[in-house]
Structures are given as structure tokens and as C-alpha cells.
Chains A and B, each alone.
Chain A
């Protein structure tokens, strides 16, 4: 190679994978895009590529840089921690295989949650929302209440799908009605209300949950864009849940007004 200026740049080989990553030192810092060339290995996933950057934090220009910050935990698409925007769509970095992605691969943090640093966001609101709608089943008592009620297999089959939710936030990220202007609670919490309302013991608190969803930012702020069900990595029938809870709130709303 000639000794021109570009000789210091790490030349991408055919076995290199190009990543363009949106970075920021956190809230209040401006964001910028940084390119990385990462040596390819078979069956590589996005988390693996980020680990390579951590081992050798050198960007595409050959400059030493800070390692990219990201979160991951289970590495089998059940915890939701590594959710980020990969080539424009929210998904988990662990199950995003490099072989199946268009290059250069663009990574960005989720936009509907407060940024912490680089690809890390604070998804606390997802869990706060579950608390808001009381998405649990009360079984604690001062005495043994005996065995739980029987649940028909059709209900078990349906609610099993809903129980796969890992609160990753992909649904909220894809939803046009979840944003900084609106207070919409988002699809995940509504599906969890459907889950616990479908349980005979959970149904004892059904009305409290419906009331929580009929407040500001509740279920009525869904605009039926239906991106959530398409984007959900676990294939949860979120739009079916929303429609089911729509029916529950409609009936409950009319009935409670007539009884007042």
C-alpha cells in the first residue's frame, strides 16, 4: 500500500462487518454516529459484535474510542434487556444474527424511553405501568385458601401466549401513540391486564384494573395502528388483547354509569 493518509485506516476485509452505532454520553450530551469494522465469525450476533468492540474499542477511522455501552442478560430473547433499534426496527440484539442483517448494521437506542448512555435506556416506565394497572394476582392471605380454581385449557392456551411478555418495550417503541407528547400506557400493560383478568382469581380485581385503564393515558388512547402485534418478538396477540379489554371497559363503563 502507498503511504498516503488512508494507510492508517483499518481496511475492511471481506470478513469484516460494518456497524454504525448511535452514541451519546447520556442525557444532556449530543449524540453522534460512530462506525466500527468488526472481524466476522460464523453465527455472530449483534451482542457478540458489541463484545468485540468492548475488547478492542477502535473505530472505523482506526482511532481509539470508548467502548460502546449496552445491556444484555439472558442471551436467549426472554429478558428484553438488549432491546435496541437494529436497522430501523426495535428488536433484541441477542437474537439479531449478523448473517440475516443488511450491512452496514445500524444500531441506535430505543427512542421512547429516557436515554442512559449509548445503547442503554431506562425502561422503568414499563414496570411502573404494570404496577399502575395492578398486573398481578392476589393470593396472599392469613390462612390457607385451599387449591386454586380450575382453569379451562382454552383459557390456559390463550393466556400462555400473553405470559410470554418480557416487558422489552418493542411494542411501545413501534407504537405511534406512545411518545413524549402523549401519556398512553402502551400495549404491554394492557395485554397483562387481559392475562390476569382471564384468571379466575385474578378476575376478583378486574374492575380496579379496568378503572386504571380508563384513566388518563389509558386504553382509549390506542389508535389501532396495530404495529405492536407485528413488532412483538414473542408474537403476543397484543391487538386481540387490546380489543378484548376494549370490550371489558365498554361494558364496565356503561354498566357502572347506569348503576350510579
Chain B
């Protein structure tokens, strides 16, 4: 039976592979909407034509997400935050990582339910546009995107430390800047794609 060490490392790994990779793929397909309704619909049709789609979705998306989410809730529970006594920048990011974890979890659960599991009919530009026609929904999406991207960017920084890849202070600082750029990049791409549907 694998021990805590294994589950912790698996949790860290799954955040990047496949969940992080999927996040990029998702933003790519969303961004097809910038090229017009037909381009987005072609992208969706291509994905729906992937052989063994149910298996791909199950193994590369649903199972990793479920494990990352539920083990993550346990990690959030194990923490006793102290940002008011120890006001260091990294401690705040540690705290925000846990806040964004819960926000992202709520957002992704709602998003998957509305546009995937509980969705009847074909997914298309028109259908997404219809969902986003409510400004409250759009606002919640903006919050959800910010939470997901910051959780992913900071989690990537943490991945490099937890696996012992970045050891020195300067290496950790440099990857922190790279992860900040990653956050800005994803946010710009995500919001532009979102805007293409509104």
C-alpha cells in the first residue's frame, strides 16, 4: 500500500500532468472562438471525434481531477493558517493557494455540471454563448478563471520545490517570476476567450 509520501507526490504531479496540460488544451480550444463561431465548433467536433473519448476523459481528466480535489480538501483541512502573525509574502501565497483551491473546486464542479454532465444537446458556440448571456454567470466565470490560473501558477512553483528541482533561493525566485508570467499569460488568454462568447 503506497504511503502518505506517494499520495502527496501524486497530488503534486497530477496538478501539472495531466490537469495543467488539460488547462492549456482547454484554453486553446476556447481561444478558437476568437477565429469565429465556425472555428470553435470545428474544434469541438474534432475533440468529440477522438477515439475512446470516454476513456481519455475518464483517465486524463475526471479521475485526476477527483483525486486532486478530494486529497486537496484534506490538505486544506490539515493546515492552520497564520498569515496575521507571520505576514511573509510566501505565507500569503500559501494561504491563497488554499483559498483558490476551494474557489476553483466550486467553480470547476459547477462548470462541469452545467456544460458537461448536466448538459443536454450538442455543445456549440451558440450554447456556450447562451450560458454566458447572464452577466452573473460571466462574473462568476471571471472569478473562477482567476482562481484556477493563480492556483495552477503557484502550484507549479510549489511542484518544482516539492520534487527537489529548484533548491537555491535564486532558482526558486526565478521560477516564481516564470510562474507569475504564466499566470498573466493564462489570464489574458482565458479572459479574451471568455470575451469572445459574451
Which positions in A face B, CB cutoff 8 Å? Answer: 88-89, 174, 176-177, 179-182, 184, 214-227, 230-231, 237, 239-240, 242-251, 253
Contact = CB atoms under 8 A, between A and B. Distances in A.
Interface residues of B, number: 33
Contacts of A221: 4, 8, 78
B91 A246 contact: no
B9 A247 contact: no
Given A176-B94, A220-B5, A220-B8, A243 B85 contact: no
Q: What are the 9 tightest A-B residue pairs by CB atom distance, in nearest-first order? A: A247-B164, A220-B8, A246-B164, A225-B94, A179-B80, A226-B90, A214-B5, A243-B167, A182-B78
Interface string B151-167: 00000011001111111
Given A218-B4, A247-B167, A225 B91 contact: yes
Given A230-B88, A246-B162, A246-B163, 13 more contacts: A179-B80, A181-B77, A184-B78, A220-B5, A223-B94, A224-B90, A224-B157, A225-B90, A226-B91, A227-B90, A243-B168, A248-B164, A249-B164
Given A218-B4, A220-B8, A243 B166 contact: yes
A224 B158 contact: yes
A175 to B, nearest CB: 9
A250 to B, nearest CB: 5
B61 to A, nearest CB: 25
8 contacts: A176-B79, A181-B80, A214-B3, A215-B4, A220-B5, A220-B162, A222-B162, A243-B164
Contact of B163 (A226, A240, A250): A250
Given A181-B77, A221-B4, A225-B91, A250 B164 contact: yes
A51 to B, nearest CB: 27
Interface of B: 3-6, 8-9, 75, 77-82, 85-86, 88, 90-91, 94-95, 97, 157-158, 161-169, 172
A89 B86 contact: yes
Given A215-B3, A224-B94, A176 B165 contact: no
B86 A231 contact: yes
B13 to A, nearest CB: 11
A220 B12 CA distance: 10
A237 B164 CA distance: 15
Contacts of A217: 4
B112 to A, nearest CB: 27
Contacts of A251: 164
A220 B4 contact: yes
Contacts of B6: 253
A220 B95 CA distance: 18
B5 A240 contact: no
B168 A177 contact: no
A227 B86 contact: yes
Nearest to A178: B80
A243 B97 CA distance: 19
A6 B164 CA distance: 62
Counting chain B CB atoms within 10 Å of each CB, the highest count among A89, A177, A227 belongs to A227
Nearest to A215: B3
B162 A240 contact: no
A72 to B, nearest CB: 23
B9 A253 contact: yes
A248 B165 CA distance: 10
B11 to A, nearest CB: 9
Contact of A243 (B5, B77, B82, B161): B161
Contacts of A180: 80
A247 B164 CA distance: 4
A229 B5 CA distance: 23
